[in-house]
Amino acid sequence: MANRHASQHAATASMAGKVCIVTGANSGVGLEAVRKLASGGAHIVMVCRDRVKAEKVREEIVAATPARIDIVLADFSDLDQVRTAAATLLRDYPRIDVLINSAGIHSTTRTITKAGFETAFCVNHLAPFLLTSLLLDRLRASSPARVIQVNSEGHRFSGFHLDDYNWERNRYTGLKGYGSSKTAQLLTTWEFADALAGSGVTINAMHPGDVRTNIGNNNGLLYRLFKRFFISPLMLKDPAISGEALYWLAAAPEMATVSGRFFHLTIDEKPAAHALDRAKGKEAWELSRKLAGL
Cα–Cα distance for residue pair 31/102, rounded to 1 Å: 9
Furthest C-alpha separation in the chain: 52
Alpha carbon separation from 83 to 5, 129, 181, 202, 280 (Å, rounded): 39, 11, 20, 22, 26
Q: Select from 26-34, 61-69, 134-142, 281-289 the region that touches ligand NAP (CB under 6 A).
A: 26-34
Q: Select from 45-53, 189-197, 244-252, 283-291 the region that touches ligand NAP (CB under 6 A).
A: 45-53
Does residue 40 interact with ligand NAP by CB under 6 A? no
Closest by CA position to 147, among listed 173, 159, 129, 167: 129
Q: Which residues contact 143 (CB under 8 A, 6 or more apart)?
A: 199, 200, 201
Does residue 188 interact with ligand NAP by CB under 6 A? no
Among 22, 38, 215, 255, binds ligand NAP (CB under 6 A): 215
Q: Select from 28-36, 59-67, 156-164, 165-173 the region that touches ligand NAP (CB under 6 A).
A: 28-36
Does residue 46 interact with ligand NAP by CB under 6 A? no
Q: Which residues contact 220 (CB under 8 A, 6 or more apart)?
A: 108, 109
Among 35, 38, 43, 77, binds ligand NAP (CB under 6 A): 77
Among 96, 123, 147, 241, binds ligand NAP (CB under 6 A): 123
β-pairing, 98-101 vs 68-73, is unpaired
CB of 27 to ligand NAP, least distance (A): 4
Closest by CA position to 282, among listed 162, 179, 132, 199: 162
DSSP 170-212: SPP-HHHHHHHHHHHHHHHHHHHHHHHTTTTEEEEEEE--SB-
Quick check: 220 and 227 in contact, CB under 8 A? no
Annotated catalytic, 223? Answer: no
Among 13, 39, 53, 71, binds ligand NAP (CB under 6 A): 53
Among 105, 120, 193, 287, binds ligand NAP (CB under 6 A): 105
Does residue 85 interact with ligand NAP by CB under 6 A? no
Does residue 50 interact with ligand NAP by CB under 6 A? yes
CB of 211 to ligand NAP, least distance (A): 4
What is the number of residues in the chain? Answer: 294
Among 18, 42, 76, 160, binds ligand NAP (CB under 6 A): 76
Three-class secondary structure of residue 270 per DSSP? coil
Site residues (vs ligand NAP, CB under 6 A): 24, 26-30, 48-50, 53, 75-77, 102-105, 123, 150, 152, 154, 207-208, 210-211, 213-215
Catalytic positions, written as ranges: 178
